[in-house]
Structure 1
Amino acid sequence: MKILVLGLNYAPEIIGIGPYTTGLAEALVRAGHQVRVVAGQPYYPEWRARPGHGFWNLERRGRLDVLRVPHFIPRHPTGAMRLLHHFSFALAAFFPMLWAALLWRPDRVIAIAPGLMAAPVGLVAARLSGATAWLHVQDFELEAAEATGLIGRGLFLGKILRQIERGILCAFDHVSTISPAMCRRLENKDVPANRIAEHRNWAEVDRIVPQDAPSPYRALWGIGTEHVALYSGALGRKHGLDLILAAARQLSHRDDLTFVICGNGPDRAALEASASGLRNIRFHDLQPIEKLGDLLALATIHLLPQIACAQDLVLPSKLPNMLASGRPVVATARPQSALFQEVSGCGIATPPQDAEAFAKAIADLCDNPVLARQLGSAARARAEARWSRQVLLANFVGDIEQADKAGAPAILGQRP
Structure 2
Amino acid sequence: MFGLVRSVQVREVQGEVMKLLFLGINYDPEIISIAVYSSGLCDYMARHGVETKVVTAKPYFPHWRVFEGWRGPFWKRRKTESGADVVHCPLYVPRKPTGAKRILHHASFALTAAPVTLWRALVWRPDVVFVIGPSLVAAPVGWLAARIGGAKAWLHVQDFEVEAAFATGLIKEESRTGRAAKAFERWVLRRFDKASSISRPMLDKLRQKEVPEERIYELRNWANLEKVTPIEGVSPMKAELGIETPYVALYSGNLANKQGLEVLPEMARHLAHREDLTLMICGDGPMRDELVNMAEGLSNIRFLPLQPLEKLSDLLGVADVHLLPQIAGAADVMLPSKLTNMLASGRPVLATAHAGTALGDEVEGAGVLTPPGDGKAAAAAVESLLNDPTRRAEFGLTARHRALERWDMDAILGNLHIEFEKLTSRQAALVSAE
Give the one of 298, 311, 322 matched to 2:318. Answer: 298
Is the Cα contact below 8 Å between 1:59 and 1:65 reproduced in 2? yes
- Answer yes or no: is 1:137 the counterpart of 2:154: no
- Render the CA deviation track for 1:134-168: whole Å, top value 9, x for unaligned: 11111011111111111112112211110111010
Residues 1:148 and 2:164 aligned together: no
| Contact 1:239–1:307 (CA under 8 A) maintained in structure 2 | yes
For residue 241 of structure 1, give the secondary structure of its aligned residue in structure 2.
Answer: coil
Q: What residue number does 2:94 align with?
A: 74
Match of 1:26 in 2: 43
Structure 2 letter corresponding to 1:239: Q
What amino acid maps onto 1:52 in structure 2?
G
Distance (whole Å) between structure 2 residues aligned to residue 24 and residue 284 of structure 1: 29
Comparing 111-120 with 235-244, greater Cα deviation is found at: 235-244
Q: Deviations over 1:284-324 (max 9, x none)?
A: 00001100000000000000010011111111100010011
User: Could you say which structure has the greater relative contact order, defined with CA pairs below 8 angstroms and 6 or more residues apart?
Assistant: 2
CA offset digits 1:41-81 (Å, max 9, x no partner): 00000001012335311102474210011110111111111
**Counterpart amino acid of residue 110 in structure 1:** F
The whole-number CA distance in structure 1 between the counterparts of 2:392 and 2:233 is: 16
Please tell me the residue identity of whatever aligns with 2:77: L
**8 Å Cα contact 1:304-1:329 kept in structure 2:** yes
Of residues 51-60 and 31-40 in structure 1, the stretch that sits farther from structure 2 once superposed is 51-60
Unaligned runs of at least 5 residues, structure 1: 408-416
Residue of structure 2 aligned with 1:48, choices 55, 62, 65: 65
| Corresponding residue for residue 14 of structure 1 | 31
1:162 aligns with 2:179: no
Residue 410 of structure 1 corresponds to which residue in structure 2? none
Of the structure 1 ranges 153-162 and 248-257, higher mean CA displacement relative to structure 2 is found in: 153-162
- Residue in structure 2 matched with residue 57 of structure 1 by the alignment: 76
Letter in 2 for 1:70: P
Helix, strand or coil for the counterpart of 1:122? Answer: helix
Match of 2:419 in 1: 399
Say if 1:173 and 1:405, in contact at 8 Å, map to a contact too: no
* Structure 2 residue 256 is matched with structure 1 residue 201: no
**Aligned pair partner of 1:310 in 326, 330, 340:** 330
Q: Distance in 1 between matches of 2:83 and 2:266?
A: 50
Equivalent residue number for residue 9 of structure 2 = none
Counterpart of 1:85, as a letter, is H
* Cα deviation code 1:256-296 (max 9, x no counterpart): 11100000000000000110100000000000110000000
CA distance in 2, matches of 1:385, 1:93: 37
Say whether residues 1:366 and 2:386 are aligned partners.
yes
The verdict on how the C-alpha distance between 1:311 and 1:405 changes in structure 2, with shifts beyond 3 A counting, is farther
In structure 1, give the amino acid aligned to 2:274.
Answer: R
2:87 alignment partner, SS class: strand
Asked if 2 retains the 8 angstrom alpha-carbon contact of 1:43 and 1:49, the reply is: yes
Q: Is the 8 A contact 2:43 2:83 kept in 1?
A: no
Letter of the 1:58 counterpart? R
From 187, 195, 198, the equivalent of 1:175 is 195
Per the TM alignment, residue 181 of structure 1 is displaced from its structure 2 partner at its CA by 0.6
Percent identity of paired positions between Structure 1 and Structure 2: 50
Shift of 1:406: 7.5
- SS at structure 1 position matched to 2:334: coil
Aligned length: 407
Of residues 242, 252, 261, the one that matches 1:232 is 252
Q: 1:377 matched to which residue of 2?
A: 397
Contact 1:2 1:106 in 2 (8 A): yes
Conserved 8 A contact 2:99-2:165: yes
User: 1: distance between equivalents of 2:323 and 2:362?
Assistant: 14
Residue of structure 2 in register with 1:279 after alignment: 299
Offset at residue 2 of structure 1 (A): 1.5
1:328 pairs with 341, 345, 348, which one?
348
2:8 aligns to what? none
Tell me which of 256, 259, 282 is aligned to 2:279.
Answer: 259
TM-score, normalised by the number of residues in structure 2: 0.92
Q: Distance in 1 between matches of 2:23 and 2:292?
A: 36
Could you tell me how far apart the structure 1 residues matched to 2:345 and 2:381 are? 19
CA distance in 2, matches of 1:8, 1:168: 17
Q: Is the 8 A contact 1:231 1:261 kept in 2?
A: yes
Looking at structure 2, the residues matched to 72 and 167 of structure 1 have their Cα atoms a distance apart, in angstroms, of 25
User: In the TM superposition, what is the alpha-carbon distance from 1:119 to its structure 2 partner?
Assistant: 0.5
1:37 to partner: Cα distance: 0.4
| Cα distance in structure 1, aligned partners of 2:179 and 2:380 | 40
Using the alignment, how far apart are the partners of 1:63 and 1:292 within structure 2?
24
2-side partners of 1:405 and 1:331: how far apart? 42
After TM superposition, the score normalised by the length of structure 1 is 0.96
Amino acid at match of 2:37: Y
Q: Shift of residue 238 of structure 1?
A: 1.4
1:279 is paired with a residue of what secondary structure? coil
Unaligned runs of 5+ in 2: 1-17, 428-434
Q: Cα offset for 1:216?
A: 2.2
Structure 1 stretches of at least 4 aligned residues deviating more than 6 Å after TM superposition: none
Alignment RMSD, CA only? 1.3
For residue 355 of structure 2, what is the amino acid of its counterpart? P
Q: Is residue 123 from structure 1 mapped to residue 123 from structure 2 by the alignment? A: no
- Residues 231-264 of structure 1 show CA distances to partners (whole Å, capped at 9, x for unaligned) of 0000011111111111110110111111000000
CA distance in 2, matches of 1:33, 1:53: 28
Contact 1:132 1:405 in 2 (8 A): no
Return the alpha-carbon distance in structure 2 between the equivalents of residues 325 and 302 of structure 1.
10
Greater shift, 361-370 or 55-64, is seen at: 55-64
